[in-house]
Structure 1
Amino acid sequence: METLDLLRSGQLAGIKRLDLAAELTQFPPEILDLADSLEVLNLTNNRLQALPDELGRLKNLKIIFLSNNEFEELPEVLSDCPSLSMIGFKSNRIRTIAENALPDSVRWLILTDNQLEQLPATMGRLVNLQKLMLAGNRLRSLPDAMAACQNLELIRLSANCLPSLPSWLFTLPRLSWLAYSGNPFCEAMPASLERSLPDIDWAELTLGDTLGEGASGIISRGIWQTGPSDAVDVAVKVFKGNVTSDGLPADERNTCLAAGTHNHLVNVLGKLINHPEEKAGLVFSFIPPNYKTLGWPPSLDSCTRDIYPQGTCFSWPVVLRIAQGMATAAAHLHARGIMHGDLYAHNILVNETGDSLLGDFGAASFYPASELVAGEVLEALEVRAFGCLLEDLLNHCLVAGVAEQERYDRLRQLQQDCMNPIPCERPLFTKICNTLYAL
């Protein structure tokens, strides 16, 4: 309650960000007194059901988080905040969105894990929308008017009730990251991709430090006792079991298993059984510590694009090696009818020479690899994601000499081809691989 007391006493005057979780059932009116300075308001993990009619007084508010509250509709007063660019209402009880509830300024909208059955046609007005998180709802369709959302780059539609994906989705010039598993139209794991992996008993594992935590689970370093005197280093991912921003953990597990082995994919060793809390999990080969994450996830400002530490610089040989590795990994997945859905630098591990491994199948989805037209349409979206990765690598590339500059220019042209605003004119991964290895 300390933050609430400070707010009520006026001691937070002039702050730009307020984080307040105090079992609130009413919106504290003192927040409105911060109108001249407040840019980020985080009221996640409360019990709020409504926002005040005067919310528009927060004229500088750019970001509002109200996840894990008790809203049943998206408050219409949000549209009165002229600067709002990011809105988060994950894990509420939202069933409806009023026609004019969203300001035209919104770039990033999070409505994961609610009870939405439809979206208003006015969503088509959101021409600035870049990132839309809708996993874990009850949607049966998307309004055709959303074809006007020409800046949309990432959309999560997993775990809904969609009978199909709308055709206009595949005409969007910037769409790069799509997740749709867990809908009625989705493919189950094709029998041809099922592989026999050992069950690994929890009792055979000794867990160490946490290596990372994502939306779907926690990854820990571990030791797998494979025999009385034999043990191997592994990484153990225990799924949280809830709907994540990307979709359902079970779908992640299935696509990860179906991906098979590849030199540029993180290798799965087996499926976890007998977890004390009956949680699902996977056991992976341990990645040596000289492998580091290539980039950092998007920031609130960058929205859809990864960010890199200041001073990041890659040599030309490293850039080319990373590009070749990721293109061959993507080609392998699409040949198996798998769309990764999250082809990003923050899901790639690299070492100092550019050897690379793609992981995190949280947004992956199956499609019928035998249906060439459907497959190529989906692959073209992922090609743009690869183009974004190439753009990042080239923007941080140090070129030495005329010969490298010529090859750099050719790779820059490939990057631009991959980001062609007309999806059907982009090269597919087999052609991309050929071009890369010709360099």
Structure 2
Amino acid sequence: MAKGKKTKQAKGKTITLKMAQNCVQLALDGKRSLDLSFKEISTVPKCIQKLCDMDELDLSRNMIRKVPDFIEQFISICVLDLHSNYLEQIPATIGRLQNLMLLNLCNNRLTSLPSEIGLLKKLHTLNLGLNHLDALPASIGALKELRHIGLSDNRFTRVPGCLTRLDKLEKVNLDRNPIISEQSPSHESIAITERLYLVKESFLCGDCLNKCQTERKKLEDVEERKYDLIKHPLDYMMH
């Protein structure tokens, strides 16, 4: 390398309004989608504010570090895909996207979420997998239309309590989180969750419900025997 020259930091590509317009897709049902995925951009282009009448906005698989406040102008979108970027936070203005039904924030660097996310009353699917979250804002409990929430590969040590307030919730993905086992007598052992889904009893058939209740009773009996063995080891030795 020649002396006196400095290495330049890698910058994302620039998207012009004309380029963005060429990325607009029209579906058979008439919905319009702006697809800026795989564009190697590090910032959300300001020019797309002129295309805010979209139904869907895809900014996934880029190098975006910040979601600008002007995202609030996309009040018509029902799908916002921001997965696989470098996001560390989400602006409070996200709460103004009142028509949003699907929000994908998977594979970023989020450590927290704004409480305003609880304003997304029409949200059906929320994907937060592959982040650095260890808690959810209590306002998540206000998402009464939420059916699916992905929380895999985060830092949750327990199932977020706010999820119990979601009457329509059908599936919770908590794969590969350091969930603290509530069955442990000492509450010190940590179990890595491989498959953990929460469903309401009303979604289970009679046979499945009976099976779940039987398996739970077996686990309770095993833990009770372990506890007795710790407290009264001589009784077990004599038998």
Shorter-chain TM-score category? 0.5 to 0.7
In structure 2, distance between residues paired with 1:44 and 1:37: 13
| Aligned equivalent of 1:336 | none
Q: String of CA shifts for 1:207-265, please: whole Å, max 9, x gaps.
A: xxxxxxxxxxxxxxxxxxxxxxxxxxxxxxxxxxxxxxxxxxxx8xx95xxxxxxxxxx
| Aligned equivalent of 1:144 | 138
- CA 1:54–1:173: 2 relative to 1, 3 Å: same
| Aligned equivalent of 2:57 | 64
In structure 1, distance between residues paired with 2:39 and 2:148: 28
Is 1:50 aligned to 2:35, yes or no? no
The correspondence of residues 37-436 of structure 1 with structure 2, limited to 5 A, is 39-102=32-95, 103-185=97-179, 364-365=195-196, 378-380=198-200, 384=203, 429-430=208-209
- CA 1:86–1:76: 2 relative to 1, 3 Å: same
Structure number with higher strand proportion: 1
Q: How far 1:157 sits from its partner (Å)?
A: 0.4
In structure 2, distance between residues paired with 1:156 and 1:36: 28
- CA 1:128–1:185: 2 relative to 1, 3 Å: same
- Whether the aligned pair in 1 keeps the contact of 2:42 and 2:62 (CA below 8 Å) is yes
- Whether the aligned pair in 1 keeps the contact of 2:94 and 2:116 (CA below 8 Å) is no
In structure 1, distance between residues paired with 2:207 and 2:112: 34
- Whether the aligned pair in 2 keeps the contact of 1:72 and 1:92 (CA below 8 Å) is yes
- CA 1:70–1:428: 2 relative to 1, 3 Å: farther
Q: How far 1:432 sits from its partner (Å)?
A: 9.8
Q: Give the fraction of aligned pairs with identical amino acids, expressed as a percent.
A: 23
- CA 1:101–1:26: 2 relative to 1, 3 Å: farther
| Aligned equivalent of 2:6 | none
TM-score of the pair, normalised by structure 1: 0.38
Q: String of CA shifts for 1:40-75, please: whole Å, max 9, x gaps.
A: 122221211222335332243111212210011223
Q: How far 1:162 sits from its partner (Å)?
A: 1.6
| Aligned equivalent of 1:26 | 14
Q: Which amino acid in the other structure matches residue 26 of structure 1?
A: T
In structure 2, distance between residues paired with 1:148 and 1:156: 17
| Aligned equivalent of 1:294 | none
In structure 2, distance between residues paired with 1:130 and 1:74: 21
- Whether the aligned pair in 1 keeps the contact of 2:20 and 2:34 (CA below 8 Å) is no
Q: String of CA shifts for 1:178-222, please: whole Å, max 9, x gaps.
A: 1112222255xx9xxxxxxxxxxxxxxxxxxxxxxxxxxxxxxxx
TM-score of the pair, normalised by structure 2: 0.68
- Aligned-residue CA RMSD (Å): 3.1
Q: Which amino acid in the other structure matches residue 166 of structure 1?
A: P
| Aligned equivalent of 2:219 | none
- CA 1:37–1:158: 2 relative to 1, 3 Å: closer
- Whether the aligned pair in 1 keeps the contact of 2:23 and 2:36 (CA below 8 Å) is no
SS across alignment from 2:93: coil
Q: Which amino acid in the other structure matches residue 80 of structure 1?
A: Q
Q: Which amino acid in the other structure matches residue 77 of structure 1?
A: F
- CA 1:96–1:35: 2 relative to 1, 3 Å: same
Q: Which amino acid in the other structure matches residue 29 of structure 1?
A: L
Q: Which runs of 5+ in 1 are unaligned?
A: 1-22, 191-250, 256-363, 367-377, 387-417, 419-426, 434-439
SS across alignment from 1:170: helix
